[in-house]
C-alpha cells in the first residue's frame, strides 16, 4: 500500500494540470491593449459627476459606481494598474456632518407614499456618519468634488474647513485635501498621474440653471472671487482655469481625456414638469379666459384713468387677454415689471422650462395661473353682469393672477445666457483637447441621445425620463449607476480611438438605476 | 482501510456533475476504467447498476462492490466584449456506490444497490456576471434499489427491481441583474428542499450466445422529483412595498430522466475483453425549471431548459496482466443535452471526450482494490442562455465557456 501512496503527488499534479484553460484568456496580459496610453496611474478631476454623486447626495454605492471607478476597473483588465482609491463616504445615507451637525441632506430613495404612488423622498433609515472633520489620507484617484466649478479646482484653500460656512471652501474637498491650503489641481498633479480625465464646468452654468436663473450672468466679470454661488462663470475665467489645469496635467507627461458639458435641457430636472401642465376642462378654460378678459379690461380702465389714450391702453391690455383652451395650457410666469408689461406676467413660451422642485401642491391650487377665491369670483360675476366695480375690487382680480416665480422657471433670456456660456466653455474644451492631442468626449451628444429617443441596451432603452427612464437618479440632475456606466463607455470609446487602445466597455444593463426604500419620514 | 470506509460514509451526501446535464457517470470503478461500459460485462457486483440480469452469472455466492470518487471539476467563463472572466470554485464531489448480490441458487440471485446517478454542485463567485441565473447549486439524488436476477436459460437472463430515490436541492441566485438593498447588497433567493422522494424501476436482460460474447440491455425509468413545500429564503431585498419578497414556500419538479443502455462485450486472446455501450438519456423530459412560490405576491419563476435526448458512446478494454493485476482503459463521447441558446451556467456542459483508465489489484482471492481515473475534455464553446427576461425583454447571457473534470476513484470488490 505504501508504494502506491508515493503516487499521490503525481495524482495531485494531474489534478492541477487539468484546470480548464481558454485558448485566449482575457485575464492574461496581451488580450487587450492600452495602445499609446498608460493607465497605470489614473486620476480623475471633476465635480459631483466625477465623484459619483447621485440622488442628491454622495454615498458609498454611488461612489463605487462613479464613472472613474468603472473606468479604473476596466483599465485594470488591460494592464497592471495602481489601486484606484476613492474618498469613500462612511455610509450609504449620504448626508454630511460638520462637527456632528448635519450640513447636507441624506440621499433620496424611491418610496411609496401613503397615497400608494412611488415618489423620491429623503432617506431616513439611518443617521449620516460622514463628518468632514474626519480628514482622509490620500492620495485619491477620484478627485471629484461635488459642487465645484471650473475655477474652484485651482483656487487655494478650497479644502479649508474654516471656509465652509462662508462658502469659500467645499466640505467634500475638506474631507480629502492634502492640506487646507492646497488646490484640487495641485493634489492631482502631485500624484504624477500617467492618465487623467477632466470633466468640469457643469456647475459654472448648472447652479444658475437649477436655481431658476436667480443668479447673475457674470460674463465680463473676470474676478470669480466676487461671484455668487448661482452665477454664470465668465467664459474667459472658465478658459483660463481650464487651460491652467490641462497645461499642468499634461505637464506631468500624462495622457488624458477631456469631457464637454451636456445641455441643461438633457436632464430631467428641467424636462419633468412640462410648461403646459395646466390641463383644463372646457368650462374651466372658458372661465379662465373670461377671467383674463376681465384682467385686460380692468387694466385698460386703470391705464386710461392714469392718462393713457384708449388706443395705448387697449394695445397694452391685449397681452393680458389670454385665451385658455380645453386640454393642456402653458403656465404664466412672473417677469420684471416694465413699460411694455406693466403687470409683470405673461404666458410661458414653448421653450421655457420649469424646475423639478417646483411646488406641485401650489401648482394644483392655481400657482402658474390664477388663485380663484370666492371673493374674486364674485367680482368676476359683477363684471360679467355688466356692472361696474370699485378700484379695490379691480386690484383683487389683478392680485389673483399667480405667475410662476423666477426661481421655479428658466425663461428665454436665462436659457440664452446658459447656452451661450455653455457653448463657449465647450468650444474651449474641444480646442484644448485638439491642441494637446487628448481624447475628447462628447458627453453633450451622449446625453442628448438619452434625452431624445434613448440609448438601447440589452435590457431595454435608457432614457432621461425621471424615475423610470433609468439614466438619472432621483435628484433629476445626476445619473444613476447605469447612467454613469454609459458615461464611462463614452470615455472609454473616445480613449480607445485616440490612443489606439482596446479597453473593454461595460454592459450598462448590469448597472442599477434608482434605489427603492421606504425608510422615509 | 477503515479510514477509507469512514470517508465513504461521511461523504455520502455530496455529488457532483461532470457529464451531460446533471448525470454523474461514476457507478463503478471497474466499469469507469473501461469508459463506464458494463451493460454486457460480467465482472463484479457493479452489475447491480449496469445490468442486474448479469448478477446471476457471477461465480461467487456473495459479491460486494463499493467505491468512491473524487470529482475535481471546474468551469471557466469569459466575455471578452466586457472583459468579464470567472472561474467556478466547485467543491470536490465524492459520489459513491455500494452493490451487493447474493446467489440463492443456480438460476436466482438477489441484490441491493445504492448509487448516485444524478447530481450537480456548481459554485460561481457570488454576484458574478451570471449571478441572475445562478450563484451556486447543489443537487443530489441517492438511488436505493433491491434487485432480482433470474437465469431463464443458458443464454438469457433478466433482472431488475424497484428504485427508491431520495433527493435534495439547494440553489441560490440573484433576483435579477441589478436589484439591491440600500447598501448595494444584491437581492437573492435560496431555494432549499431535501428529503424529496419518489419511486421508479429498472429492467434489464443479458444474452450470452457464446462463452466469449455477451449482449446486454438495461432500462432505468424516469423519476420526477417533486419538491413540495421547500423553503425559499429571500435576502437583501429592498425595504419597499414595490419588492414584496418575503420568505415563503415553493414547489418545483426536477426530472431524473430515463436511460436506455445497449451494449456488448467480447473476450478475446484469453486475457482481453472489449466492451461497447450505447446510452440514450431521455433528457427531453427536462423542459423547464419552474419555481412556484406559495406567496401570491411573488411572481413564479419560469426557466426554460428544453433539453434534448442525448447519446453517449462508450468503449472499454480490459487486460488480465497477472493473477494479481488487471489493467483497464476506455474512452467515451458524451453528447450534451443542452440545445443552442439554452446554455445555462448552472449546468454548463457541452459535448465532451472522456478518457479513462485503471486497474484492479487482488489483495487476496476474496478482496480486490479497484482504482480508476477519468479525464473529461471539453471543447471551448461560445454559448448563450437566451431565455432570461427583464421587463418582458429577453436578455441573453453570452460568453465563452470551458469545462474540465478530473476524477480519481477507489473501490473494493469482495467475493465469497
Element (H or E) spanning A94, and its range?
Answer: none
Residues 6 or more apart whose CB falls under 8 angstroms from that of A166 comprise none
| A424-442: average pLDDT | 98
Cell of A420: 451661450
Nearest-by-CA chain A residue for B73: A19
Looking at chain B, which residue has its C-alpha nearest residue A62?
Answer: B184
Task: Please provide the average confidence, as pLDDT, over all residues in chain B.
Answer: 92
Whether residues A236 and A252 share a domain: the answer is yes
A32 lies in some domain:
no
| Extents of the domains making up chain B | 2-410
Q: Select from B85, B242, B380 the Cβ nearest to the Cβ of A23.
A: B380
Facing residue for A458 by CB, picked from B184, B239, B395: B395
* A8: pLDDT strictly greater than 80: no
Q: Which band of pLDDT confidence, cut at 50, 70 and 90, is reported for residue A274? A: very high
Q: What is the pLDDT of residue A6?
A: 56
State the pLDDT at residue A3: 55
For range A226-232, the mean pLDDT: 96
Single out the residue in A355, A374, A409 at which a domain terminates.
Answer: A409
Whether A368 and A432 share a structural domain: no
Separation in Å, CA A501 to CA A38, A68, A141, A489, A498: 10, 17, 21, 13, 8
Query: How long is chain A?
Result: 521
User: Do A516 and B242 lie within an 8 Å CB cutoff?
Assistant: yes
Q: What is the interface pTM, i.e. ipTM, of the complex?
A: 0.90
CA distance A429 to A442: 10
- Domain-embedded: residue A267: yes
The answer to whether residue B367 neighbours chain A at the CB level (below 8 Å) is: no
Angle between helices A282-305 and A374-384 (to 10 degrees): 70
% helix / strand / coil in chain A, to the nearest 5? 40, 15, 45
- Cα B95 to chain centroid distance, Å, stands at 9
**Closest chain A CA to residue B186:** A512
**Inter-CA distances, B236 with A516, B26, B180, B185, B298, Å:** 12, 39, 6, 6, 15
**Distance from B120 to chain A by nearest Cα, in Å?**
18
A315 contacts A340 by C-beta, under 8 angstroms: no
Q: How far apart are CA B332 and CA B214, in angstroms?
A: 20
pLDDT over 80 (residue A114): yes
Residue A27 reports pLDDT greater than 90: no
pLDDT at B13: 32
> Based on the domain organization, do A193 and A58 belong to the same domain?
yes
Q: What is the 3-state secondary structure (H, E, C) of A190-228?
A: HCCCCEEEEECCHHHHHHHHHCCCCCCECCCCCCHHHCC
pLDDT recorded at residue B6:
36
- Which residues in chain B have Cβ-Cβ distances shorter than 8 Å to A460? 390-391, 393
Of A354, A348, A400, A398, the C-alpha closest to A374 is: A400
pLDDT score at A439: 98
Number of cross-chain residue pairs from A and B with Cβ atoms under 8 Å apart? 114
Answer whether A336's CB lies under 8 Å from A345's CB: no
pLDDT range class, residue B17, cuts 50, 70, 90: very low
**A422 and A322 share one domain:** no
Euclidean distance between CA atoms B293 and B291, whole angstroms? 6
Taking CA–CA distances from A15, the nearest residue in chain B reads B406
The C-alpha cell at A494 is 473616445
Handedness of CA A85, A87, A91, A94 (dihedral sign): negative
Which cell numbers hold the place of B82?
Answer: 466586457
pLDDT in tens, B62-79: 999 999 999 999 999 999
Strand-pair partners of B41: none
| pLDDT band with cut points at 50, 70 and 90 for residue A270 | very high
Q: What is the pLDDT of residue A306?
A: 87
Residue B16 pLDDT level (bands cut at 50, 70, 90): very low
Q: B323 CB near a chain A CB, below 8 Å?
A: no
* pLDDT at B3 (0 to 100): 44
* Residue A264, pLDDT score: 84
DSSP structure string for A27-67: TSTTSS--TT---SSEEEEESHHHHT-BTTB--HHHHHTSH
What's the CA gap between B339 and B357, in Å, rounded?
A: 30
Tell me which chain B residues have a C-beta less than 8 angstroms from the C-beta of A55: none
Q: Which of A388, A409, A430 is the last residue of a domain?
A: A409
Q: Are residues A358 and A453 in the same domain?
A: no
Angstrom CA distances, A48 to A68, A159, A392, B184, B245, stand at: 12, 15, 51, 20, 34
Strands A195-199 and A42-46: parallel
pLDDT at A307: 86
- Of chain A, the percentage scoring pLDDT greater than 70 comes to 97
Q: Are A135 and A265 in the same domain?
A: yes
Chain A contact for B76 (CB, 8 A cutoff): yes
B304 in reach of chain A (CB within 8 A): no
Measure B48 CA to nearest chain A CA, in Å.
Answer: 28
- Look at residue B348 in the predicted model and tell me its pLDDT: 78
Q: What percent of chain B has pLDDT over 90?
A: 85
**Number of domain units in chain A:** 2
Q: Which residues of B touch A18 (CB under 8 A)?
A: 72, 375, 404-406
Shared-domain flag, residues A211 and A297:
no
* Packing angle, helices A374-384 and A391-400, rounded to 10: 120
How would residue A14 be classed by pLDDT, with cut points 50, 70 and 90?
low
Tell me, what's the pLDDT at A521?
A: 84
Same domain, A266 and A282: no
Confidence at B15, pLDDT banded by 50, 70, 90: very low
pLDDT for the residue numbered A20: 84
Closest by alpha carbon to A258, among A206, A196, A185?
A196
pLDDT tens digits along B196-222: 999 999 999 999 999 999 999 999 999
Q: Is CATH 2.40.160.60 what the domain over B2-410 is classified as, yes or no?
A: yes
Q: What is the mean pLDDT of residues A196-200?
A: 98
Higher pLDDT, B408 or A138: B408
Q: Is B131 helix (H, G, I), strand (E, B) or coil?
A: coil
> Half-sphere exposure of residue A196, counting CA atoms within 13 Å on the CB side?
29
Give the number of other CB atoms < 10 A from CB of residue A280: 18
Average pLDDT, chain A: 93
* B395 interaction partners in chain A (CB closer than 8 Å): 458-459, 509
> Which pLDDT value is given to residue A5?
53
Q: Is the pLDDT of residue A2 over 60?
A: no
Q: Do A517 and B238 touch (CB under 8 A)?
A: yes
Contacts of A61 in chain B (CB under 8 A): 180, 183-184
Cell of B372: 480508476
Structural domain range at position A46: 42-272+411-510
Chain B residues whose beta carbon lies within 8 Å of the beta carbon of residue A458 = 395-396
Q: How far apart are CA A242 and CA A436, in angstroms?
A: 13
pLDDT of residue A380: 83
DSSP summary character for residue A106: P
Is A459 in Cβ contact with B184 (below 8 Å)? no
Same domain, A402 and A446: no
Task: Give the strand pairing for A345-347 and A332-334.
Answer: antiparallel
* Cβ contact B241–A123 (<8 Å): no
B184, closest residue in chain A (CA to CA): A61
pLDDT at residue B8, as a whole number: 34
Query: Burial letters for A53-92: b for 16+ Cβ neighbours within 10 Å, e otherwise?
Result: bbbbbbbbbbbbbbbbbbbbebbbbbbebbebebbbbbbb
How near does any CA of chain B get to the CA of A505, in Å?
Answer: 5
- Answer whether B308 touches A (CB < 8 Å): no
pLDDT score for A390: 86
> Least CB-CB distance to A18: which of B83, B179, B375?
B375
The residue of chain A nearest to residue B131, with distances taken between CA atoms, is A510
Question: Quick check: A302 pLDDT over 70?
Answer: yes
The last residue of one of the domains, among A378, A409, A440, is: A409
Q: What is the pLDDT of residue A374?
A: 87
Give chain B positions within 8 Å (CB) of A123: 182
Residues of B numbered 144-183 whose beta carbons fall under 8 angstroms of chain A's beta carbons: which are they?
177-183
Could you say which DSSP state residue B391 is in? T
Is B402 within 8 Å of A21 when comparing Cβ atoms?
A: yes
CB atoms under 10 Å from CB of B207, counted, come to: 16
Highest mean pLDDT among A11-15, B10-14, B111-115: B111-115
Check residue B199 and give its pLDDT: 97
Q: Do A316 and A247 fall into the same domain?
A: no
Quick check: is A29 in a domain?
no
Answer yes or no: is A11 within a domain. no
* The pLDDT value given to residue A18: 65
% of chain B beyond a pLDDT of 70: 95
CB nearest B184 (choices: A92, A123, A125): A92
Give the Cα separation of A242 and A247 in Å (integer).
9
Instruction: Summarize the confidence of residues A425-442 as an average pLDDT.
Output: 98
Return the closest-CA partner of residue A482 out of A490, A473, A474, A491.
A473
Residues 6 or more apart from A386 whose CB is under 8 A from it? none
Give the pLDDT confidence score for residue B295 in this predicted structure. Answer: 93
**Strand partners for B78:** B85, B400
Residue pointed to by grid coordinates 448597472: A511
Q: Are residues A262 and A391 both part of a single domain?
A: no
**In a 3-state reduction of DSSP, which class is residue B397?**
strand
Is B80 within 8 Å of A27 when comparing Cβ atoms? no
Closest CA to A353 of A231, A277, A271: A271
Residues A317-326: tens digit of each pLDDT: 999 999 999 9
Query: What pLDDT was estimated at residue B14?
Result: 34
The CA distance from A367 to A379, in Å, is 20
> Distance (Å) from the C-alpha of residue A78 to the closest C-alpha of chain B?
9
CB-based contact B17:B404 (threshold 8 Å) = no
Q: In Å, how far is B153's CA from the nearest CA of chain A?
A: 43
- Judging by beta carbons within 10 Å of its beta carbon (0-12, 13-18, 19+), is residue B28 exposed, middle or buried? buried
B102: cell is 447474493
| Pairing mode of beta strands A255-259, A195-199 | parallel
Q: Is the pLDDT of residue A203 over 60?
A: yes
Amino acid at each position: 500500500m505504501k508504494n502506491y501512496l508515493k503516487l499521490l503527488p503525481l495524482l495531485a499534479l494531474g489534478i492541477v494540470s487539468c484546470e480548464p484553460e481558454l485558448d485566449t484568456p482575457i485575464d492574461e496580459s496581451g488580450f487587450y491593449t492600452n495602445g499609446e496610453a498608460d493607465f497605470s496611474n489614473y486620476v480623475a478631476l471633476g465635480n459631483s459627476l466625477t465623484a459619483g454623486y447621485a440622488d442628491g447626495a454622495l454615498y458609498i454605492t454611488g461612489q463605487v459606481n462613479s464613472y472613474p471607478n468603472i473606468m479604473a476597473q476596466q483599465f485594470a483588465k488591460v494592464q497592471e494598474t495602481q489601486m484606484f482609491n476613492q474618498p469613500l463616504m462612511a455610509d450609504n445615507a449620504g448626508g454630511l456632518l460638520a462637527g456632528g451637525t448635519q450640513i447636507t441632506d441624506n440621499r433620496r430613495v424611491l418610496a411609496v407614499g401613503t397615497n400608494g404612488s412611488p415618489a423620491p423622498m429623503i432617506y431616513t433609515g439611518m443617521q449620516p456618519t460622514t463628518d468632514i472633520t474626519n480628514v482622509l489620507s490620500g492620495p485619491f484617484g477620484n478627485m471629484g468634488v461635488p459642487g465645484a466649478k471650473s475655477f474652484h479646482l485651482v483656487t487655494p484653500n478650497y479644502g479649508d474647513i474654516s471656509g465652509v460656512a462662508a462658502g469659500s471652501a467645499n466640505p467634500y474637498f475638506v474631507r480629502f485635501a492634502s492640506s487646507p491650503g492646497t488646490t484640487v489641481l495641485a493634489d492631482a498633479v502631485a500624484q504624477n498621474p500617467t492618465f487623467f480625465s477632466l470633466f468640469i464646468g457643469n456647475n459654472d452654468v448648472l447652479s444658475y440653471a437649477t436655481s431658476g436663473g436667480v443668479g447673475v450672468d457674470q460674463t465680463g466679470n473676470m474676478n470669480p472671487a466676487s461671484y455668487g454661488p448661482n452665477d454664470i462663470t465668465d467664459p474667459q475665467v472658465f478658459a483660463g482655469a481650464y487651460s491652467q489645469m490641462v497645461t499642468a496635467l499634461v505637464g506631468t507627461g500624462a495622457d488624458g481625456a477631456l469631457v464637454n458639458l451636456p445641455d441643461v435641457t438633457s436632464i430631467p430636472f428641467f424636462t419633468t414638469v412640462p410648461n403646459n401642465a395646466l390641463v383644463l376642462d372646457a368650462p374651466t378654460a372658458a372661465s379662465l379666459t373670461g377671467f383674463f378678459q376681465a384682467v385686460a379690461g380692468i387694466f385698460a380702465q386703470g391705464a386710461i384713468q392714469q392718462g393713457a389714450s384708449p388706443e395705448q391702453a387697449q394695445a397694452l391690455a391685449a397681452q393680458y387677454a389670454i385665451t385658455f383652451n380645453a386640454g393642456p395650457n402653458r403656465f404664466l410666469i412672473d417677469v420684471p415689471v416694465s413699460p411694455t408689461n406693466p403687470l409683470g406676467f405673461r404666458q410661458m413660451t414653448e421653450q421655457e422650462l420649469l424646475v423639478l422642485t417646483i411646488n406641485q401642491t401650489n401648482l394644483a391650487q392655481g400657482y402658474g395661473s390664477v388663485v380663484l377665491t370666492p371673493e374674486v369670483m364674485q367680482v368676476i360675476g359683477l363684471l360679467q353682469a355688466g356692472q361696474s366695480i370699485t378700484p379695490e375690487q379691480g386690484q383683487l382680480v389683478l392680485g389673483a393672477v399667480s405667475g410662476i416665480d423666477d426661481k421655479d422657471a428658466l425663461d428665454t433670456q436665462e436659457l440664452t445666457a446658459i447656452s451661450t456660456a455653455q457653448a463657449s466653455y465647450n468650444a474651449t474644451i474641444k480646442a484644448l483637447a485638439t491642441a494637446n492631442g487628448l481624447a475628447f468626449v462628447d458627453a453633450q451628444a451622449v446625453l442628448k441621445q438619452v434625452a431624445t429617443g434613448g440609448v438601447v441596451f440589452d435590457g431595454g432603452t435608457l432614457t432621461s425620463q425621471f424615475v423610470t427612464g433609468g439614466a438619472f437618479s432621483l435628484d433629476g440632475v445626476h445619473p444613476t449607476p447605469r447612467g454613469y456606466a454609459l458615461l464611462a463607455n463614452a470615455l472609454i470609446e473616445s480613449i480607445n480611438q485616440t490612443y489606439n487602445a482596446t479597453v473593454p466597455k461595460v454592459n450598462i444593463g448590469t448597472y442599477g438605476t434608482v434605489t427603492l426604500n421606504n425608510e422615509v419620514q | 482501510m477503515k479510514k477509507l470506509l469512514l470517508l465513504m460514509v461521511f461523504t455520502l451526501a455530496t455529488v457532483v456533475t461532470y457529464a451531460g446535464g446533471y448525470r454523474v457517470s461514476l457507478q463503478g470503478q471497474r466499469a469507469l476504467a473501461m469508459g463506464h461500459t458494463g451493460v454486457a460485462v460480467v465482472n463484479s457486483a457493479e452489475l447491480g447498476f449496469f445490468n442486474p440480469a448479469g448478477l446471476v452469472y457471477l461465480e461467487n455466492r456473495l459479491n460486494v462492490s463499493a467505491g468512491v470518487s473524487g470529482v475535481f471539476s471546474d468551469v471557466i467563463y469569459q466575455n471578452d466584449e466586457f472583459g468579464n472572466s470567472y472561474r467556478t470554485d466547485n467543491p470536490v464531489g465524492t459520489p459513491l456506490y455500494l452493490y451487493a448480490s447474493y446467489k440463492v441458487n443456480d438460476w436466482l440471485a438477489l441484490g441491493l444497490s445504492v448509487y448516485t446517478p444524478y447530481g450537480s454542485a456548481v459554485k460561481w463567485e457570488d454576484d458574478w456576471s451570471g449571478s441572475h441565473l445562478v450563484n451556486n447549486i447543489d443537487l443530489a439524488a441517492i438511488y436505493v434499489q433491491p434487485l432480482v436476477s433470474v437465469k431463464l436459460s443458458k443464454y438469457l437472463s433478466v433482472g431488475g427491481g424497484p428504485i427508491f430515490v431520495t433527493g435534495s436541492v439547494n440553489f441560490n441566485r440573484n433576483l435579477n441583474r441589478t436589484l439591491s438593498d440600500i447598501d448595494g447588497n444584491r437581492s437573492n433567493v435560496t431555494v432549499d428542499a431535501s428529503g424529496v422522494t419518489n419511486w421508479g424501476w429498472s429492467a434489464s436482460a443479458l444474452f450470452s450466445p457464446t462463452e466469449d460474447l455477451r449482449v446486454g440491455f438495461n432500462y432505468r425509468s424516469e423519476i420526477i422529483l417533486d419538491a413540495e413545500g421547500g423553503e425559499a429564503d429571500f435576502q437583501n431585498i429592498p425595504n419597499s412595498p414595490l419588492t414584496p419578497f418575503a420568505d415563503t414556500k415553493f414547489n418545483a419538479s426536477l426530472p431524473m430522466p430515463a436511460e436506455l443502455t445497449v451494449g456488448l462485450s467480447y473476450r478475446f486472446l484469453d486475457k482481453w475483453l472489449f466492451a461497447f455501450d450505447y446510452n440514450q438519456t431521455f433528457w427531453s423530459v427536462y423542459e423547464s425549471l419552474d419555481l412556484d412560490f406559495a406567496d401570491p405576491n411573488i411572481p413564479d419563476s419560469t426557466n426554460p431548459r428544453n433539453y434534448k435526448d442525448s447519446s453517449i458512446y462508450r468503449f472499454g478494454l480490459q487486460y488480465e496482466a497477472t493473477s494479481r493485476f488487471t489493467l483497464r482503459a476506455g474512452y467515451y463521447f458524451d453528447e450534451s443535452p443542452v440545445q443552442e441558446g439554452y446554455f445555462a451556467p448552472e449546468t454548463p456542459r457541452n459535448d465532451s471526450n472522456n478518457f479513462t483508465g485503471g486497474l484492479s489489484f487482488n489483495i487476496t482471492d476474496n478482496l480486490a482494490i479497484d482504482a480508476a481515473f477519468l479525464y473529461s475534455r471539453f471543447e471551448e464553446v461560445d454559448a448563450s442562455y437566451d431565455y432570461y427576461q427583464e421587463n418582458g425583454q429577453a436578455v441573453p447571457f453570452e460568453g465563452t465557456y470551458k469545462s474540465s473534470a478530473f476524477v480519481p476513484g477507489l473501490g473494493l470488490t469482495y467475493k465469497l
